[in-house]
Amino acid sequence: MACLARGCFVKLVEWCPVPVLQRGRHVVLNRYSLRLITLSLILFVPLAGLGFYSAEWPIYLQLLPLFLSLFLFGIPHGGADHLLLWGMLRKDSWPKRITALAIYTLIALAYFIFWDFQPSAAVLFFLGLTVFHWGQGDRYISVQVHEATYLYRSKVLTVIHILSRGSIPILVPGYLNNDTYRNVVEALVSSGRQASYHAEWVSSYPLFFLLVPLGLTAVKILAASFCIRKKEIRPFCIDSIESVALFGWFLFIPTFWAIGCYFALWHSLRHALRILSTDTLGSQLLDSKQYLKLNIRWLQLTGLMTFIALIGMWIIFALPFSVHGIELDWLAKALIGISVLTLPHTVVVSCMDRIQLKV
């Protein structure tokens, strides 16, 4: 099919690889620092007001952001993985493309099978994987969008930054919302083993969920304050304010609402910005502020694989998992489906980081 950039008809699906270049098109990204901050405020301030009272709502309303994330940014933000994977191949050919897709699929299937044999270990792995993946996503934005270049100079600070940003959404909800956290863990494990599971360890050490991310965040801010140069004061302040704001969000906003909004409108939306800035046409549309065409380009890049992923999610929903209650049954299946997609997606993002961030 003819390319959109050539002025021909609009194609539905992009098949051409997206070249992953060193540091991406960071000049375009740098211009989006203030816009991204503004958008985050516009989205999360009213959502915080709503979410603060969401614990009193029916469970289906509490889960609404997570459900919507399956279609809005959440699942789609990994829909361009195949194009990015192909763009990192040294020599492009259809046999290599098929091999790359086969490896991607096998990684997902292996993890799905792992859920059935070792659900307890699969849950812990999922939590650790998400800490790393969400942390690495925020690290990229801090460096490429907000220009926190001090993260380039210290690998130790980079590791602390990743662990801090990733542990905030994964661990902090387990402090004030410990019962909910425990129910979700028990539902996830029980869905795999089809037997009742009691996660006493979640309730035994509630301070763990507060002190670990708090300590990591404090160490990160303190260590960075000694490393920054004069021109890095602004990105350091942005990074610190974001960390504190996220900590407050996950500490005081009920778990389901907090996670659902964050997944769709923070992590996934920011990764979408990364994908579009990496894509040649997407970068041009970002630079020229042609947002309608940018939406079309997003659908071209992610539409097909998102559709396939949603079919896979539907298959998971159809499987006869045994869990506690209809709502948590749905939630457990959704989280297992997301986890299966997250593992190969994290591998792709890590490969992109090695090229774009030289890590």
pLDDT digits (tens, 9 = 90+) for 331-356: 788 888 899 999 999 999 999 999 99
**Cβ atoms of residues 273 and 36 within 8 Å:** yes
Q: How far apart are CA 226 and CA 243, in angstroms?
A: 18
Q: How far apart are CA 122 and CA 144, in angstroms?
A: 32
Neighbours of 31 (CB within 10 A): 13
Q: What is the pLDDT of residue 310?
A: 84
Neighbours of 206 (CB within 10 A): 16
* CA dihedral angle for residue 346, residue 351, residue 355, residue 359, rounded to 10 degrees: 80
Query: Phi first, then psi: what are they for 133, rounded to 5°?
Result: -65, -45
Q: Three-state DSSP class for 30?
A: helix
**Cβ atoms of residues 279 and 297 within 8 Å:** yes
Task: Count Cβ atoms within 10 A of the Cβ of residue 359 and give its class: 0-12 exposed, 13-18 middle, 19 or more buried.
Answer: middle
Q: From residue 74, give the alpha-carbon distance in Å to each of 68, 189, 337, 339.
A: 8, 23, 12, 12
Q: What is the pLDDT of residue 7?
A: 43
Task: Convert the pLDDT of each residue in 238-288 to its tens digit.
Answer: 999 999 999 999 999 999 999 999 999 999 999 999 999 999 999 999 888
pLDDT confidence bin for 8, thresholds 50/70/90: very low
Instruction: Tokens for 209, please give them.
Output: 């969920």
Asked whether residue 90 carries a pLDDT value surpassing 70, the answer given is yes
The stretch 37-55 carries a mean pLDDT of 92
Q: What is the pLDDT of residue 10?
A: 54
pLDDT confidence bin for 195, thresholds 50/70/90: low
Q: How far apart are the first and last CA of the chain?
A: 36
Average pLDDT of the chain? 87
**Cβ atoms of residues 268 and 73 within 8 Å:** yes
pLDDT cut 70: percent of the chain above it: 90
| DSSP secondary structure letter of residue 76 | G
Q: Structure pTM?
A: 0.90
Q: How far apart are CA 247 and CA 43, in angstroms?
A: 17
Parse the chain into domains and list their residue ranges.
Answer: 31-356
Instruction: Tokens for 335, please give them.
Output: 């989280």
Q: How far apart are CA 274 and CA 294, in angstroms?
A: 13
Asked whether residue 76 carries a pLDDT value surpassing 80, the answer given is yes
Q: How far apart are CA 138 and CA 149, in angstroms?
A: 14
CA-based radius of gyration for the chain:
20
The tally of CA atoms less than 13 A away on the side-chain side of residue 132 is 15
Q: From residue 111, give the alpha-carbon distance in Å to each of 73, 119, 192, 299, 338.
A: 23, 10, 12, 28, 11
Instruction: Tokens for 327, please give them.
Output: 């709502």
Q: How far apart are CA 101 and CA 92, in angstroms?
A: 13
- Residue closest to 340 by CA, chosen among 195, 213, 192: 192
- Residue closest to 206 by CA, chosen among 187, 186, 178, 182: 178
Asked whether residue 26 carries a pLDDT value surpassing 70, the answer given is no
